[in-house]
């Protein structure tokens, strides 16, 4: 149990400021130290005690649910939109008690502490949880969760890739909230300077993309893409667009993964051609390369849009499309990076209310919930039907009056499902180091093998 506790707490701390769950990340996605872990643990312990008392008091009225969530500018406005929707259309006496957490790891630590103590009464009715980590917490603490079994929800209304994170042995445990579909946004004015249009970037190969990047840099001095070199998400996104994972049958799969090797080669050649800029850290990536106007393109989960829009002078100059692929020839690439879902805990005293609330707001493709969540917090729906609303189909001035939000939802339905692992983030760290080593002159095969060995050692530890 102590090993499980330590493992989960470390996992939580590693992603204390996970970019994929916030529209405006401000810190690296991995790292952390014992002091931060201790503070997070203390905060989780204090919050758990307060939640236990609040839950016991409020569950008695039959109309109140408590929820842990983070990000007052993103996820919490979405929850408030769902509360207002449910009050208006289902139950005017309903109340959602939102207990704001400073970061996603606070929720993970709360579940870890409750599970390690064998006392889930400290948990709220519902928690917002990172998609990439949920299966690990089901494995470690299977008694912490309730499911959506018996709820009247059309699961076919969601992209299957999104549901794959929260569906275990055919049972649905999570209600999707934010959409992590990857966009490739381009400055069309800079493309034009190099002789290209947004249509030229759709369905092309990565080799063709590098040639475009060379010309854009020569003409404008701008990179066609940047990424945090320390927490490099590029390999994962590019691989998923090919329908390939960094894992196979539960094990890390890099040295025998030919698609992975091709992807790494593209990234290295892109850097050497001045098409790709690898930033020193997350702040350099967002503040210097994107807000600092060093790039002609941005590829990441769509939560990166608010960062792009910080440069008001570039309004009307951006448009989005799908990703390139290794093959090209009209084949479009689709991927997802990040996102979270809402989960009902085993401490929920009114499971039917929780299922009904989530099912008739986020789960029903409710335009009232999702339209407001988009306008108030920038949360983009995972519901295919909700993405067809008038609000989603409005042209967005910043993106040359194109309906980017409807386009994102449509792209999300095409993201392929690939094998996931609890070691997603450690693998990302090791692969990022391998890329840097290869760029510096190290042998590619040796660097990839070292990355695989490091991940496998961690998996066996």
Would you place residue 43 in the very low, low, confident or very high pLDDT band (cuts 50, 70, 90)? low
Question: Which pLDDT value is given to residue 234?
Answer: 97
Say yes or no to pLDDT of 281 above 80. Answer: yes
The pLDDT of 139-145, averaged and rounded, is 95
Task: Of 337, 351, 339, 325, give the one whose Cα is nearest residue 71.
Answer: 339
Look at 60-64, 181-185, 433-437 and tell me which has the smallest mean pLDDT: 60-64
pLDDT at 366: 86
The answer to whether 25 and 17 have CB atoms below 8 angstroms apart is yes
Integer CA distances (angstroms), 6 to 11, 114, 438, in order: 8, 13, 33
Predicted confidence (pLDDT) at residue 47 exceeds the cutoff of 80: no
Average pLDDT over residues 389-404: 97
**What would the pLDDT profile of 81-135 be if each residue is shown by its tens digit?**
999 999 999 999 999 999 999 999 999 999 999 999 999 999 999 999 989 889 8
Nearest residue to 114 (alpha-carbon basis) of 52, 37, 173: 52
Pairwise CA distance, residues 252 & 419, whole Å: 10
In which order are the strands placed within the sheet that holds 340-344? 95-101, 64-70, 126-130, 340-344, 174-176
**pLDDT surpassing 70 at residue 34:** no
Comparing 365 with 170, which gets the higher pLDDT?
A: 170
The answer on pLDDT for 73 being more than 60 is yes
Radius of gyration of the chain (CA): 22
Q: What is d(CA 71, CA 76) in angstroms, rounded to the nearest whole number?
A: 6
Q: Is the pLDDT of residue 45 over 70?
A: no
**Residue 23 has what pLDDT?**
39
Q: What is the pLDDT of residue 441?
A: 97
Across-strand partners of 126? 67, 344
Specify whether the CB–CB gap between 151 and 173 falls below 8 A.
no
The domain spans of the chain are 2-179+339-391, 182-335+418-460
More reliable by pLDDT, 49 or 93: 93
What is the reported pLDDT for 60?
57
pLDDT(458) > 60: yes
Q: 317-338: per-residue pLDDT in tens?
A: 999 999 999 999 999 999 999 8
Structure tokens at 206: 């990565």
Ramachandran angles phi, psi of 299, nearest 5°: -125, 115
Token pair belonging to 136: 């690990």
What pLDDT score does 58 carry? 54
Q: What is the pLDDT of residues 214-247, one digit of tens each?
A: 999 999 999 999 999 988 899 999 999 999 999 9
The domain over range 2-179+339-391 is classified in CATH as 3.40.190.10: yes
Tell me the average pLDDT across 149-154: 94
Q: Which of 10-14, 174-178, 344-348, 402-406 has the lowest mean pLDDT?
A: 10-14
Q: Do the first three CATH levels of 2-179+339-391 and 182-335+418-460 match, i.e. the same topology?
A: yes
At residue 162, the pLDDT reads 94
Mean pLDDT, rounded, of the chain: 89
Q: Which H or E run includes 97?
A: strand 95-101
- H-type helices in 118-159, by residue range? 131-140
Contacts of 3 (CB under 8 A, 6+ apart): none
Of the two residues 9 and 346, the one the predictor is more confident about is 346
Q: Which residues contact 302 (CB under 8 A, 6 or more apart)?
A: 179, 180, 181, 182, 183, 380, 408
Under the banding of pLDDT at 50, 70 and 90, the label for residue 56 is low
Mention every residue, 6+ apart, whose C-beta is less than 8 A from residue 2. Answer: none
- Where does residue 130 fall: left (phi above 0), alpha (psi -120 to 50 degrees), or beta otherwise? beta
The whole-angstrom separation of Cα 201 and Cα 459 is: 39
Residue 318 phi, psi dihedral angles, 5° rounding? -105, 145
pTM: predicted TM-score of the whole model, two decimal places: 0.84
* Apex 98 CA angle, 97 and 102, nearest 5: 155
- The CATH number of 182-335+418-460 is 3.40.190.10
What mean pLDDT do residues 385-400 have? 96
Check if the beta carbon of residue 322 is closer than 8 Å to that of residue 334: yes
Which residues have C-beta within 8 Å of that of residue 431, sequence separation ≥ 6? 232, 235, 246, 254, 264, 451
């Amino acid at each position: 149990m102590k090993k499980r506790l330590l493992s989960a707490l470390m996992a939580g701390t590693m992603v204390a400021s996970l970019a994929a769950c916030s529209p405006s990340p401000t810190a690296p996605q991995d790292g952390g130290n014992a002091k931060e872990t201790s503070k997070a643990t203390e905060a989780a312990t204090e919050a758990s005690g307060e939640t236990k008392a609040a839950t016991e008091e409020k569950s008695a009225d039959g109309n109140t649910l408590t929820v842990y969530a983070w990000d007052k500018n993103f996820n919490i406005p979405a929850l408030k939109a769902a509360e207002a929707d449910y009050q208006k259309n289902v139950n005017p006496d309903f109340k959602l008690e939102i207990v704001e957490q400073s970061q996603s790891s606070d929720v993970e630590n709360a579940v870890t502490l409750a599970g390690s103590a064998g006392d889930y009464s400290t948990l709220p009715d519902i928690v917002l949880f990172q998609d990439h980590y949920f299966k690990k917490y089901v494995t470690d603490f299977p008694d912490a969760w309730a499911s959506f079994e018996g709820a009247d929800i059309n699961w076919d209304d969601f992209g299957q890739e999104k549901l794959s994170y929260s569906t275990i042995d055919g049972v649905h445990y999570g209600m999707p909230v934010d959409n992590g579909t990857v966009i490739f946004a381009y400055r069309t004015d800079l493309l034009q300077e190099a002789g290209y249009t947004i249509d030229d970037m759709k369905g092309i190969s990565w080799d063709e993309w590098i040639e475009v990047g060379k010309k854009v840099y020569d003409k404008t001095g701008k990179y066609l893409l940047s990424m945090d070199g320390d927490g490099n998400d590029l390999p994962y996104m590019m691989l998923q667009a090919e329908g390939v994972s960094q894992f196979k049958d539960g094990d890390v799969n890099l040295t025998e993964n030919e698609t992975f090797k091709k992807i790494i080669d593209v990234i290295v050649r892109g850097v050497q051609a001045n098409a790709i800029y690898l930033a020193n850290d997350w702040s350099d990536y967002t503040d210097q390369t994107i807000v600092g106007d060093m790039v002609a393109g941005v590829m990441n989960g769509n939560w990166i849009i608010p960062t792009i829009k910080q440069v008001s002078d570039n309004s009307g100059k951006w448009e989005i499309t799908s990703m390139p692929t290794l093959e090209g020839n009209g084949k479009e690439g689709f991927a997802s990076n990040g996102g979270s879902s809402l989960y009902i805990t085993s401490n929920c005293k009114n499971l039917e209310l929780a299922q009904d609330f989530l099912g008739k707001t986020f789960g029903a493709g409710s335009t009232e919930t999702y339209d407001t969540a988009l306008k108030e917090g920038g949360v983009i729906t995972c519901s295919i039907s909700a993405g067809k609303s008038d609000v989603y189909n409005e042209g967005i001035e910043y993106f040359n009056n194109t309906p980017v939000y409807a386009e994102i939802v449509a792209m999300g339905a095409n993201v392929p499902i690939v094998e996931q692992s609890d070691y997603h983030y450690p693998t990302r760290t090791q692969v990022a180091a391998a890329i840097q080593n290869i760029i510096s002159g190290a042998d590619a095969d040796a660097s990839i093998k070292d990355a695989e060995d490091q991940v496998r050692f961690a998996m066996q530890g």
